[in-house]
Amino acid sequence: MKAKECIEIFNTCIRTYHETDDVNTRLNNPFPENSINNILYLKSWIDTVQWHLEDIIREPNIDAAEGMKIKRRIDKSNQHRTDVVERIDDYYIHFFKDIILNENAKLNTESPAWVIDRLSILCLKIYHMKEQTFRKDVDENHIKQCSFKLNILLEQQEDLSTSLDQFLIEVSNGEKEIKVYRQMKMYNDSTLNPILYTNK
């Protein structure tokens, strides 16, 4: 699964979401269940919905109760996102399970899935920054600044894509090891968060 293929799935998902542009739209994943494409599409859907929830919660006059409801939804979404990232890493760990590591194999600062996570967010940034360059209700300076930022995001996407593909080649050659540290989030765990375990 090369970076380009991931980006194509992410962009398809983002475009599909914006057909309704509604955070309550039901996910309709077009890929076979448990396939890597299905998991990547799910990852992008979570990110896309959460992107818009983050917009909504910044409404200056939002009702406090509604704001808290959305905040809790974002919190739940963050946990779901982390779980899906770990599923992507599971895919790569299984895919490369028979690779024999070189004696001097190196580690990477991130696992493949967390690089893919960054690619997913970049696709969202690019989509929405591109939207800004087409606005008719802003001055020329706004368009110019957003166009400049868009070019930086596109360059970042290209560099990150190259890095991911190179990383996976190095893994397949035994030159780098995929080492995964599972996320040990404490705030959602009723046995680790003092607010939760002292208020049972």
State how far the Cα of 115 lies from the Cα of 29, in Å rounded to an integer.
22
| Mode of pairing for the β-strands spanning 176-177 and 106-107 | parallel
Cα 138 from chain centre: 29
The answer to whether the CB of 25 falls within 8 A of the CB of 53 is: no
Q: Where are the alpha helices (DSSP H) in the chain?
A: 3-17, 36-56, 64-95, 112-133, 140-172, 194-197
pLDDT tens track for 89-144:
999 999 999 999 999 999 998 999 999 999 999 999 999 999 999 999 999 999 99
Query: Backbone phi, then psi, for 177, in 5-degree steps?
Result: -105, 140
pLDDT score, position 198: 82
pLDDT score, position 71: 95
Mean pLDDT for the stretch of residues 28-38: 96
The answer to whether the CB of 98 falls within 8 A of the CB of 53 is: no
pLDDT score, position 45: 98
pLDDT score, position 188: 73
pTM across the whole model: 0.92
- Domain-by-domain residue ranges, the chain? 3-191
For residue 99, give both structure tokens. Answer: 């690779």
